[in-house]
Amino acid sequence: MTTPQIQIHAAFDSGNIEVLGIDGATARLAIRRDHQSDFAQWFHFRVSPAAGESIAGRELTLRITGLNGSAYPMGWPGYNACVSEDRELWARTGSSWDESLDGGSLTITYVPESEQAWFAYFAPYSMERHHDLVATTALTEGATLRCLGTTLDGQPLDCLEFGEGQVQVWLYARQHPGESMAEWWMEGALDVLSDGASSVGRELRKRCRLHVVPNMNPDGSRRGHLRTNAVGTNLNREWAEPTPEASPEVLAVRNAMDASGVDFAMDVHGDEAIPAVFLAGFEGIPSLKDEQKAGYNRFGELLDRRTPDFQRKLGYPVASPGKANLALSTNQVAERFGAVAMTLEMPFKDHDPAPDALQAWSPERSTQLGRDCMATLLEWLVEREGA
């Protein structure tokens, strides 16, 4: 062992890493599991020089171990870690996967140009940025902010609302807090909905009452969890019978949906393994109607036509008739309200049909997809009006 040349910290909003040992500029690390849960996949930490050292121009080797026991070990092959030196631009850096090394290891290598570098599973979306997004949006003309409830850690569950139309639209993200691309998507969607100069936003507000929950799991987000809230509950398995003790976030949103009704819903997520953007639907619900399924299919066709950052070949298996899991949000909402509901999945890797060598899938592409989805929603609504 040589003297440590680096130090590693993760005691900040959404931080997650355990330092097992440092040898020179090489570190052996592990991911801390979600509180009261076995889920582990999200990491976010800072590397800086040890006292009297410099890391600018020095190769760092960061080995995250024990990943055969992570939530989705199939997500590590072909994955490159996110890195930033200014916390604005998040690029990718070389990362190699070896399932036979140290219980399954991802070895990240990087040569910083400055004296600090942040590494993360995906570009983080902090709670401070969330509050900035909510505050800025709530100040725009026609927007209202509603607190649907309080989380177990005492944080507000924010809902932004727009429009006076008859169509009830619900958009919600980050049931799984480590899927931070979902709130980057929200920035794009909210940019359209709150912009008085946007023709898409104006027409959506005319036709719809839009309810937008940018972050359904603020506790897990702040704690650095992958998939659960403050007490280890996977919120997207709670929609059939949410409780104040285990899943107050779902209970609050579902109660608000009961009050408004739902015609269209999109639940925004990220997928660890599939290198593509795709939709998942509700084909297996007991009360499936032909017009519901046709509406879901048509939205996918329109989004596919609008952007190369979406595709319809890769995705999840479709449930058999009557076999849908009604504890999942999209299935519950489609069954409960007769809505056209869908789960939007973005990759932690890249969208392979349109790859980006520098950033892979990124905050910027997530935000643009949010804008594209709003334009697609308007096209979908106009087409239905003319049917």
Q: Are strands 167-173 and 264-271 parallel, antiparallel or unpaired?
A: parallel
Q: Which residues of 225-237 are buried (b: 16+ CB within 10 A; e: fewer)?
A: bbbbbbbbbbbbb
What are the tokens at 32?
A: 């801390």
Distance CA 162, CA 219 (A): 26
Check: CB of residue 261 under 8 Å from CB of residue 168: yes
Active site residue 245: no
Check: CB of residue 63 under 8 Å from CB of residue 45: no
Distance CA 50, CA 113 (A): 16
CA-nearest of 80, 78, 59 to 123 is 80
Is 135 exposed, middle or buried (CB count within 10 Å of its CB: 0-12, 13-18, 19+)? Answer: exposed
CB atoms within 10 A of CB 61: 15
CA-nearest of 366, 382, 206, 224 to 298 is 382
* Marked catalytic residue, from 345, 364, 379, 385: 345
Q: Which residues are catalytic?
A: 345
